Structure formats: structure tokens, C-alpha cells
């Protein structure tokens, strides 16, 4: 294939050589290859400043990440065949990891498919496309899904924030099969049903699967508070594992409805809910002198951009202080983060500081990571984003 050529500025190839797959617009030699000459989504050959071929990329001249590496072979573009091969390779890993078809099938750059996420919910597949290059491959993606797993339904949930950055319209579309309104999930032996309309991201967060499984070991006989509960992923699993009572907190009325629905689905009668802002709800519970054996804090990304770092870290600190205050003397705090810009070490330090602020002695028991259907590429720190700390809190110990 004959591709147009995009040239890098001198030295800009170092990060790509180290394993990254993104090209930023300020790394492009716009004198030799003006970005305005490229159409959004087009495939191009990438070359270093010394003319050495670096591979092929998807180009979007309108985005800060203007290039996404498809292959390190300059003659290999993203064809329907190559797309299918990579999806098949990703599928083989998930089928080896999990005995039932509930998982993240494709995790973007980690599976060599930048801009594409696919989640599998048994015979329903949800596809999320976030880049112009992958949008042009939409029909090939649908055909590959049909060929590889023969689903009853394929849903395109293309309403993510990244699409606006890429200059793409947002939409949700039934691409194949009968219309689906509910997504059925089975995780760690617990059943859930999630409404597709209004659901977050693809509808479910498989990334904390292993951390929720670890919660089950601590839950029997305990009183559990699940904050930012969404549809009850943590809380319902704790209840199914034998928690004596579970309280789920979320600001969304539809999410709260789903918590009750999922409790009934699993035959539970010990799950209650609080609808409202998480910080305000935690303060109100503290004012009411409520105490819990386990508090789970799994907020949305409080540091969405690097410029939000300081304010976001302060929000995590306030949140963890509130959570620790609600624990019984020998209680367990599970503090999670999906903020790419917050490291595991920084989260641990925030918890340490929060404990000292309210005179708690804290012990770090375990650290959790994202599930293996969200593989990390060492050269791409952005693929490593989930972390959790299991912390025991003691009052008056020292």
C-alpha cells in the first residue's frame, strides 16, 4: 500500500522506540508534512527526522494525539484481515483467563487496536470506538465480531468524551440482532443486570473484577458501605459473600434503582441505598454517628487531566478522611482509583496522610490492580490506571 508520509521532529522518535504508540501534534515536523494535508482517520507512514521508517499510523490532524501507531512495519496498514487477526488474538487470551464470556475483549492500545474497546456480555457485545481511524473501520469491526463469536446482538455505544476530541459525532446504535435494553453480567459468581440506556461507559467496569473478588474474603458477617456504587458492583458482591448488611451510595437515581434490582436478582434482602452526593452523604453518615466494618471508595476519575492534579489529590484526601472516620475501630478501608494521573504510591501516601490527619493507625494489607483482560503495556503508562488499597484502620492502637 502507498501511504502518505508523516515526519517527526528531531528526537521525537525516542518515546516510540521505548514502546509507546502515540504521536503528539507538537512532535510532527509540520514543515515537511503539514498536518492540514491529512484527512481525519487516514493511514500514513511514519518516519523519523532522518527518514528512517517508524511504522504506519492512523492520523487525526485535529487531535492532540494526532498519530496512533498501527504497526512498526511501514508497509503494513490496518486492513480488515489484520483487524480480525488482532481481535482473534485478544479473544484467545480472554477465553484462556475466564470460563464464561463476561470480560473486556479488546482494550485499545494494549491489544494493538488503539481507539477500540469491546466488552462481552455473554451473547451481547458492546463496541466503543473513540478515534477517527477506527470509525472508518466500523463495518470491518462489526463483521469481525460476527465472525469470531456469533453474538445475538452487537451494540455500538459511541458516546464517549474522546469522540468529541477526535471531531466525531456521538451515537448509540444497534448494529446487529434484536434490540437489547439490559446487559446481563456475571462476575465472581454474582449476577447483575445493567440498563444500556444511561449506563456508564460500555455499561460495566470489568477492570475491578479481581479487587471485588478479594473483597468477598473480608465481607462475611460485616457491615459494608459501598460509595460511588453505580449499580452495586462492590456492595452486591459483598452481600452475596455473607456481609450482614450493605449500604450503597450513588448520586444517580437510575443507578440506585439498579442496585435494588440486582439485590432482588441475587435473592438479597439486606441491601439499602442512599441517593446523593458522595461527600455530603459521608458527612451526613458521620454526623449520625454511623459506623461500618468495611468502607469501599471507588470514585470516578478525580484527576481527569494533568492540570487537575492538585485539586484531584485534595479530593482524594478529603474522601479518604471521610471514609476512615466511618470505620469501626478494627475496620477495613478499600480505597480505589481509576485516575491515570494518580500513581499507586501517591494513593498509598494520601491514605497514610489521611490516617495521620484523624489520628488513625493504618496497615496496608493488599494492593489491587486491574484485571488481566485490561493488560498493561510497559511502554504505555496510560494503560496502567486501576489501583486499590486494602487498608486496616485501628483507633487508639498507638
3-state secondary structure of 2: coil
CB atoms within 10 A of CB 255: 23
| φ, ψ for residue 254, nearest 5 deg | -70, -35
Query: What's the rounded Cα separation, in Å, for the pair 296 and 214?
Result: 12
3-state secondary structure of 226: strand
- Cell for 86? 488482532
Assess contact for 191 and 185: CB atoms under 8 A: yes
- Closest by CA to 338, choosing from 380, 297, 390, 379, is 297
Assess contact for 127 and 118: CB atoms under 8 A: yes
- Count of CA atoms in the C-beta half-sphere (13 A) of 33: 25
- Cell for 119? 466488552
| φ, ψ for residue 365, nearest 5 deg | -90, -45
CB atoms within 10 A of CB 105: 25
Dmax over Cα atoms in the chain, in whole Å? 71
Q: Which of 66, 248, 338, 389 is catalytic?
A: 338
- Closest by CA to 90, choosing from 115, 113, 111, 109, is 111
- Closest by CA to 372, choosing from 221, 265, 213, 237, is 213
Assess contact for 367 and 345: CB atoms under 8 A: no
3-state secondary structure of 113: coil
For the question of residue 338 being annotated catalytic, the response is yes
Cα 338–chain centre separation = 7
User: Which residues are marked as active site?
Assistant: 338
Amino acid at each position: 500500500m502507498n501511504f502518505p508520509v508523516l515526519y517527526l521532529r528531531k528526537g521525537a522518535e525516542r518515546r516510540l522506540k521505548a514502546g509507546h504508540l502515540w504521536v503528539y501534534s507538537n512532535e510532527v515536523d509540520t514543515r515537511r508534512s503539514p498536518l492540514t494535508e491529512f484527512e481525519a482517520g487516514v493511514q500514513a507512514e511514519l518516519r523519523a527526522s532522518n527518514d528512517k521508517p517508524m511504522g504506519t499510523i492512523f492520523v487525526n490532524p485535529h487531535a492532540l494525539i494526532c498519530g496512533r501507531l498501527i504497526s512498526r512495519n511501514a508497509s503494513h496498514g490496518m486492513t480488515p484481515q489484520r483487524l480480525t487477526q488482532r481481535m482473534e488474538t485478544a479473544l484467545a487470551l480472554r477465553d484462556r483467563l475466564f470460563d464464561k464470556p463476561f470480560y473486556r475483549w479488546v482494550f485499545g492500545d494494549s491489544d494493538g487496536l488503539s481507539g477500540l474497546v469491546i466488552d462481552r456480555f455473554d451473547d451481547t457485545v458492546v463496541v466503543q470506538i473513540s478515534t477517527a481511524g477506527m470509525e472508518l473501520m466500523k463495518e470491518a469491526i462489526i463483521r469481525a465480531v460476527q465472525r469470531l463469536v456469533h453474538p445475538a446482538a452487537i451494540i455500538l455505544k459511541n458516546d464517549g468524551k474522546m469522540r468529541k476530541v477526535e471531531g466525531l459525532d456521538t451515537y448509540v446504535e444497534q448494529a446487529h440482532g434484536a434490540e437489547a435494553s439490559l446487559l446481563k453480567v456475571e462476575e465472581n459468581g454474582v449476577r447483575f443486570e445493567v440498563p444500556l440506556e444511561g449506563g456508564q461507559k460500555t455499561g460495566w467496569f470489568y477492570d475491578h473484577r479481581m479487587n471485588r473478588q478479594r473483597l468477598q474474603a473480608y465481607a462475611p458477617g460485616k457491615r459494608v458501605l459501598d460509595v460511588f456504587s453505580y449499580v452495586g458492583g462492590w456492595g452486591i458482591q459483598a452481600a452475596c459473600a455473607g456481609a450482614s448488611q450493605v449500604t450503597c451510595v450513588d448520586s444517580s437515581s437510575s443507578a440506585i434503582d439498579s442496585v435494588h434490582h440486582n439485590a432482588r436478582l441475587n435473592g438479597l434482602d439486606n441491601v439499602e441505598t442512599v441517593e446523593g452526593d458522595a461527600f455530603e452523604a459521608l458527612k451526613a453518615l458521620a454526623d449520625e454517628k454511623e459506623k461500618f466494618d468495611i468502607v469501599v471508595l471507588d470514585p470516578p476519575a478525580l484527576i481527569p487531566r494533568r492540570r487537575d492534579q492538585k485539586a484531584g489529590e485534595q479530593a482524594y484526601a478529603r474522601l479518604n478522611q471521610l471514609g476512615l472516620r466511618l470505620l469501626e475501630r478494627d475496620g477495613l478501608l478499600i480505597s480505589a482509583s481509576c485516575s491515570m494521573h494518580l500513581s499507586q504510591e501517591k494513593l498509598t501516601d494520601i491514605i497514610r496522610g489521611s490516617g495521620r490527619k484523624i489520628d488513625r493507625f493504618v496497615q496496608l494489607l493488599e494492593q489491587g490492580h486491574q484485571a488481566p483482560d485490561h493488560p498493561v503495556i510497559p511502554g504505555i503508562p496510560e494503560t496502567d490506571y486501576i489501583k486499590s488499597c486494602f487498608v486496616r484502620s485501628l483507633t487508639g492502637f498507638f
